[in-house]
Structure 1
Amino acid sequence: MTKPSLRAALNSGKFVAAPGLHDMITAVIANKVGFDFAYASGYWTTASAHGIPDAGIASYTQMLDRVATLCRTSNASIIADADTGYGGLLNVHHTVRGYEEAGVVAVQIEDQEFPKKCGHTPFKRVVPTIDMVEKIKVACEARRSTETLIIARTDARQVEGYEGALKRAEAFAAAGADVVFVEALESEDEMRDACRRIKAPMMANMADGGKTPIRSAKELEDMGYAMAIYPAMTGLAAAQAAFKALSAFKELGTSVTPAQELYSFADFNELIGFPEVWEFERRWARQSNEG
């Protein structure tokens, strides 16, 4: 199966809106709905796989396994959060190669110190700009395919202020980043100004509950963004649904209540591929009987 090219989409001027897929149930549901692109968030894949915070605790190996599984499961092309590149320049090189082999179409790296923090939580620290510039250059050199994009993120807005973050973003664009991502901007004015000043395709992070105002894909395109991720949407929706279901069960002692709607078990079996398994069983059971 040939998946959509992110580079081609951006070159054509098509705005890319990518929902976050935090687990494989969400991935197969997204296959049914239909998306060209989706996002593998470090925060949400870590939370769903391990139940721990996005604070540099999950290892490169754990994240690579999760990303590779998502790439195999999803029909969409996956844009993947690779945190800081999991270390120094050699680690960045190894990370880009690993993520590319896993099947992602874009690798996102950021300028935080290791261990990193979620971009919308406190106590972030950033590395010197030159260190991140070198990571971007190594990342660009490490990729084997021109279809693999490098997304450079700065978390300096809350550390060095808005102008400090923009100065870094300009340096990242000059270093060769295919897409620039200024994390946790705090107003629509900042978002518009950043798109106007940065001479590279810009990505917006629509993190529900975070510091940046949530805007629609059309509004972001009008501001000047080339693409946007919505990393928290499915994770928060799933958490709310699970909380509601469990609360009703604790109170009423049954899964069948007017307070919640359950996805069809028959439809879910189809989503995850049981019909193919049953057809296999029928075929080989028949051949065994004939033998």
Structure 2
Amino acid sequence: MQRPAPAQKTASLRALLRTEPFVVAPAVHDIFSLRLVEQAGYQSACISGAMLSYSLLGVPDIGLLTLTECVEHCRRLTRVSSIPITADADAGYGNPRGVHYAVELFEEAGAAGLNIEDQVVPRRWASPGGKEVVPVGEMIAKIDAAQRARRDSNFMIIARTDAFACESTEQVIQRARAYQAAGADMLLPIALRTEDDIARLVRALDIPVTLSAGTGLVPSPSAASLPLERLRGLGVRRVSLTTLLPGAAVAGMRRSLDAMRGGAGSGDDGGMAAEGAASLGALFHAQDQMDFEEALLL
């Protein structure tokens, strides 16, 4: 199966955001989830650092993932993907020089864009009350470094701000405008408190606003948990569904395992496992691979 080149995928994401009023990007954590997203007709996806930390290290998103681990996982996904995938670089792996290097590596790995956040390092996981953000000038320097590093102008620099946890809405808006002026292509605000926060931020910026919706990692007030149609109505241009697929996978695996542990037959999970297993060949184009192998061995 011929897949688009990286430059085609970055251009595709830009075109989506230019022509579509609302883009939904499920988070993918492995090739199973990526294939299902493609099969369901979604036109873009993302990699969540939080979900990657769970699946690779077995710990929450507490900053233990290395740059190399994240880049290599991104490469494995983008190599087999037909849709653009954005990646997560946390705070950029250091100072602006580290950001420059990270962007080079993620772009080479086939990412269509990269989240870079303004949290102080070492970062605080989840708890809104304990978060701190770097001075605006420090984040601007990182955005500038990211711009200098990318070779494809369509590669998206997504500035994430956690400032709603420690600043007023007006301060966050001023910060976001500074990020836009510095060259950010999209803004990802975390833990917005109200619908009005979203509406004001959208009105204040010319670049798209994207949200991470339905994370559910810890109890915290966040307007990002609003229904997707409401977010669209407020002017949000893109939403990443961070926990949709990992959550569904955990629930499904638990259900099947519980059914089998009780001595039941495989059908007692509602046939879910059997149905999934029967679809693997089609999901991964097994017949195409066998035909290709046979052609090569002639």
Q: Compute the TM-score of the two structures, normalised by the length of structure 2.
A: 0.87
Give the Å deviation of 1:159. 2.0
Residue 243 of structure 2 aligns with an amino acid whose one-letter code is A
Residue of structure 1 aligned with 2:121, choices 114, 135, 138 = 114
Asked if residue 220 in structure 1 is aligned to residue 231 in structure 2, the reply is: yes
CA distance in 2, matches of 1:104, 1:204: 19
- Measured on the aligned residues, the alpha-carbon RMSD in Å equals 2.2
- 1:212 aligned partner, one-letter code: S
Counterpart of 1:93 (choices 88, 100, 112) is 100
- How many angstroms does 1:249 deviate by? 2.4
Deviates more, 1:34-43 or 1:162-171: 162-171
Closer, same or farther: CA 248–168 of 1 in aligned 2, 3 Å: same
Aligned residues: 286
Counterparts in 2 of 1:270 and 1:235: CA distance versus 1, 3 Å: same
Counterpart residue number, 1:238: 249
Determine if the alignment matches structure 1 residue 131 to structure 2 residue 138.
Answer: yes
Q: Deviations over 1:94-120 (max 9, x none)?
A: 111111111111111000122334456
> How many percent identity over aligned positions?
32
Partner Cα distance (2:113, 2:52) in 1? 16
CA distance in 2, matches of 1:27, 1:13: 21
Question: 8 Å contact 1:245–1:255 — kept in the other structure?
Answer: yes
The alpha-carbon distance between structure 1 residues 24 and 246, as it changes in their structure 2 partners (threshold 3 A), is same
Moved more, 238-247 or 94-103: 238-247
From 253, 275, 284, the equivalent of 1:272 is 284
Shift of the alpha carbon at 1:268?
Answer: 0.6
Superposed CA deviations along residues 67-107 of structure 1, whole A, max 9, x for unmatched, are 11111232220011111111111110011111111111111
Question: What is the DSSP-based 3-state SS (H/G/I as helix, E as strand, rest coil) of the residue aligned with 2:166?
Answer: helix
Q: Which amino acid aligns with 1:236?
A: G
How many angstroms apart in 1 are the aligned matches of 2:107 and 2:17?
19
Distance 1:207 1:64 in 2: 25
Q: Write the distance in 2 (CA, Å) between the matches of 1:55 and 1:123.
A: 13
Tell me, in whole angstroms, the C-alpha distance in 2 between the residues paired with 1:284 and 1:129: 56
Deviation, 1:167, is: 2.4
Tell me what 1:46 maps to.
53
CA distance in 1, matches of 2:172, 2:259: 46
- Mapped pair 1:69 → 2:81: no
Q: TM-score, normalised by structure 1?
A: 0.89
- Answer whether contact 2:189 2:210 (CA < 8 A) is retained: yes
CA-CA distance at 1:178 after TM superposition: 0.8
Could you give the per-residue CA deviations for residues 139-160 of structure 1, whole angstroms, max 9, x where no partner exists?
Answer: 1111101110111011011122
Among residues 174, 181, 184, which one is paired with 1:167 in the alignment? 174
Deviation at 1:207, TM superposition (A): 2.9
How many angstroms does 1:189 deviate by? Answer: 2.1
2:40 is aligned, of 29, 33, 45, to 33
Q: Kindly provide the amino acid, as one letter, of the partner of residue 245 in structure 1.
A: S
- What are the superposed Cα offsets for residues 164-198 of structure 1, whole Å, 9 maximum, x if unpaired? 32222121111111111211112222211221223
Gaps of 5+ in 1: none
Distance change (3 Å), C-alpha of 1:256 and 1:85: same
Mapped pair 1:155 → 2:162: yes
- The CA distance in 1 between the partners of 2:266 and 2:104, in whole Å, is 45
Further displaced range: 270-279 or 238-247: 270-279
The worse-fitting range, judged by mean Cα deviation, of 245-254 and 126-135 is: 245-254
Q: Which runs of 5+ in 2 are unaligned?
A: none
1:9 aligns with 2:16: yes
